[in-house]
C-alpha cells in the first residue's frame, strides 16, 4: 500500500520506497487551465518542505509548486518537456513532476489524507 498525501496548496506526494513522487492534483490542473510548460529542478538539488520546487505555467499564469516534503531531487519527469498536457490529462499518474530522496518520512504525517483533501476542495469550490 502506497502512502498518498496532499498539501493545502494542491500538491500530492506518494511514497515509493525511499523516493517521494510529487505532482499537482486534478483540482489544481483544472484551476490552472492548459499547462504549457513545467520548469523542473536540477537533479541533486535540495528542497525544503513548503519551499518552491518547480514552476508550472499556463498561458496566463505561472504557479509555484511547493515541495510537500524535504529531500534531494533524484529524478524529474523529462517527458513533460515534450508533452506538458500530461499534467492536465493524468495529473496523478503520468503527469508527475519529480521524485525526491527523503530523509524524514515523518514529514508526511502532517499532510492531509485523501478524504481530508476532498473536503478542502469542496470548501474551496
Q: From the CB of residue 2, how many other CB atoms can be counted at a distance below 10 Å?
A: 8
49 versus 58: smaller Cβ distance to other proteins: 58
Which of 23, 71, 84, 91 contacts other proteins by CB under 8 A? 84
Contact 93/73 with Cβ under 8 angstroms? no
The 38-57 contact track toward other proteins, x by CB under 8 A, reads -------------------x
Return the CA Rg of the chain: 13
79 binds other proteins, rule: CB under 8 A: no
62 binds other proteins, rule: CB under 8 A: yes
CA separation, residue 65 to residues 1, 38, 74 (Å): 25, 10, 17
Which of 8, 16, 48, 59 contacts other proteins by CB under 8 A? 59
Q: Three cell numbers at 11?
A: 500538491
| Site residues, other proteins (CB under 8 A) | 34, 36-37, 57-62, 84-85
Amino acid at each position: 500500500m502506497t502512502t498518498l498525501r496532499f498539501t493545502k496548496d494542491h500538491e500530492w506526494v506518494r511514497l515509493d520506497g525511499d523516493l517521494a513522487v510529487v505532482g499537482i492534483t486534478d483540482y489544481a490542473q483544472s484551476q490552472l487551465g492548459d499547462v504549457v510548460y513545467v520548469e523542473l529542478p536540477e537533479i541533486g538539488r535540495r528542497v525544503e518542505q513548503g519551499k518552491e520546487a518547480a514552476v508550472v505555467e499556463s498561458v496566463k499564469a505561472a504557479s509555484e509548486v511547493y515541495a510537500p516534503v524535504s529531500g534531494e531531487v533524484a529524478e524529474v519527469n523529462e517527458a513533460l518537456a515534450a508533452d506538458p498536457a500530461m499534467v492536465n490529462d493524468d495529473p496523478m499518474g503520468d503527469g508527475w513532476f519529480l521524485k525526491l530522496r527523503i530523509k524524514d518520512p515523518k514529514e508526511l504525517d502532517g499532510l492531509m489524507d485523501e478524504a481530508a483533501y476532498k473536503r478542502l476542495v469542496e470548501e474551496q469550490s
